[in-house]
Amino acid sequence: MINLFVFISLYISNFKNKSAASFLYGLQVLSLSGVYFVGEYYVVDSFTTAFNTCFTILILVLIISPWRKYKNIKEIVYLRETKIRKVTIFLLGVNLIIFISLVIISIFVFTFFDEINELKYSGDFMDILYDQFPIFVKGYLLAYYLHSLSYFLIVLHFYYLKKGSYKMSIYCFILSLNIVLYGLTFFSRWTIVNYVLLYFLAFFMFKNSLDKKIRKKIFRISTIFVSILIFLFVSISYNRFDENISYSNKIPRSSIIQNPTAFSLFDYLSQSHVNGMRILDDYNFETFNGQASFSALLSLLEQYGIINEYNYLEIREEMLPDNYWLFNGLVSELVYDFGYIITFILAIFYYLIVKKLRPIGNAMSLKNAFIIILLLQVPLLAIFYSSVASLVMPLILLIPIYLYLYLSKI
């Protein structure tokens, strides 16, 4: 496979660099290697497939390569301690409310629903929630739009570790788990993967800012938490797929893995490569007109009657009848949302922004770190889907935080 050869070469050439880019290239290699275990392949046997293969590699290299400069960060810089403490308390307060809401909803879901797949894929989750416990809907909507504030707590977690404010750091870490908790309300595994990869890479980038003893302790504690999350991920996979006859029958005979739970794990890691190439080969230059990337914002505007009925999901199902619910990878999702030209322009723009925000002299400003923790998810989750949609709301929510931290005199 051309993609695998290219990314193995890039990983080897970046290995000694020990930057975020080396981690991201390694993740691509791991994901592409999994394709051989699930027994699903695509053959470059036409100009269209060859073009899409090269285009996919180009876009991925553009969004990964600027992360070569993100290494050996020894300090997150912000000089006005009183202001950042106020922002931290505000973020902790909001996330505590979200945490309580998500815990209650998760208990309700795990208590009252025995058939996980039936609930997850029925599309009636909100209707069921509203009919039986209407008060939960407000809490769920609050969590849906605001849980992304938890991403900033990951940055503050490392910021306070460096400052020696360990209590505040622990609070930030615990409530940053809202990212995972949100996914548990509808039996989703992607939020677990998102959090584990994001925290691990953030630790990889900021570890040199920490004292060696603290670094080792954090690594041990984080390993325990990550192990728990991985166990939770496997447990959800087992409950959803182990006795699912319909899923078992779909496992290709060419796969060397026939156990449904084990197959689901490898398929989860690698399916986007084959799925992405298939839908790119079928692409007819009709797009979602950006609705996929701005889905959260458009959904909010629709609820308040600012825009007319928002029907992206129906359009997606119509255009991708066999793949609308699958992982299709970053590049194919962006192409279907914007087309080839705009996707390329966005990749160039992303490259320049990430390069502009890079650390200077082994130090990174707090304002840049807040943006970076969001932008990092684009290449980090590229092996699954386009994470652009999940970044729009936190970027909007970051605006008032920026205004207070850097313009307000209060």
pTM: 0.92
Domain count along the chain: 2
Q: Cα 26 to the chain's mean position, in Å?
A: 17
| Distance of alpha carbon 51 from alpha carbon 6, whole angstroms | 15
End-to-end CA distance of the chain: 57
The mean pLDDT value of the chain amounts to 89
Residues 205 and 272 in one domain: no
Per-residue model confidence (pLDDT) at position 128? 61
pLDDT at 132: 60
379-402 tens-digit pLDDT: 999 999 999 999 999 999 999 998
Residues 6+ apart with CB under 8 A from 115: none
Clarify whether residues 390 and 271 are in a common domain.
yes
**Residues 180 and 215 occupy one common structural domain:** yes
Boundary residue ending a domain (200, 225, 241)? 241
Considering the domain architecture, whether residues 251 and 230 belong to the same structural domain is answered as no
Q: What is the pLDDT of residue 125?
A: 56
Q: What is the pLDDT of residues 92-136, one digit of tens each?
A: 999 999 999 888 888 877 776 665 555 555 555 555 655 665 556
What's the pLDDT at 240? 79
Domain that holds residue 62: 2-69+244-406
Long-range pairs for 217-226 at CB < 8 Å and ≥24 separation?
218/161, 226/196, 226/199, 226/200
Based on the domain organization, do 284 and 370 belong to the same domain?
yes
pLDDT at 406: 79
Residue at which a domain ends, from 241, 271, 292: 241
Identify whether residues 266 and 182 lie together within a single domain: no
**Single residue among 220, 241, 262 that ends a domain in this structure:** 241
Which residue in 168, 176, 160 sits closest to 94, CA to CA?
176
Return the pLDDT at 133: 57
Taking the C-alpha atoms of residue 17 and residue 64, their distance in angstroms, rounded to an integer, is 14
Residues 129 and 64 in one domain: no
Residue 185: the pLDDT is 79
Tokens of 9: 């070469």
Residues 56 and 167 in one domain: no
- Residues in the chain predicted with pLDDT less than 70, given as ranges, are 112-138, 408-410
Are residues 377 and 326 part of one domain?
A: yes
CB atoms within 10 A of CB 135: 10
Whether residue 248 sits in one domain with residue 237? no
Same domain? For 294 and 386 the reply is: yes
Residue in 98, 110, 270, 76 with CA at minimum distance from that of residue 175: 98
List of long-range contacts for 255-261, beta carbons under 8 Å, 24+ apart: 255/37, 255/38, 255/39, 255/40, 256/37, 256/39, 257/37, 257/38, 261/234, 261/237
Residues 134 and 199 in one domain: yes
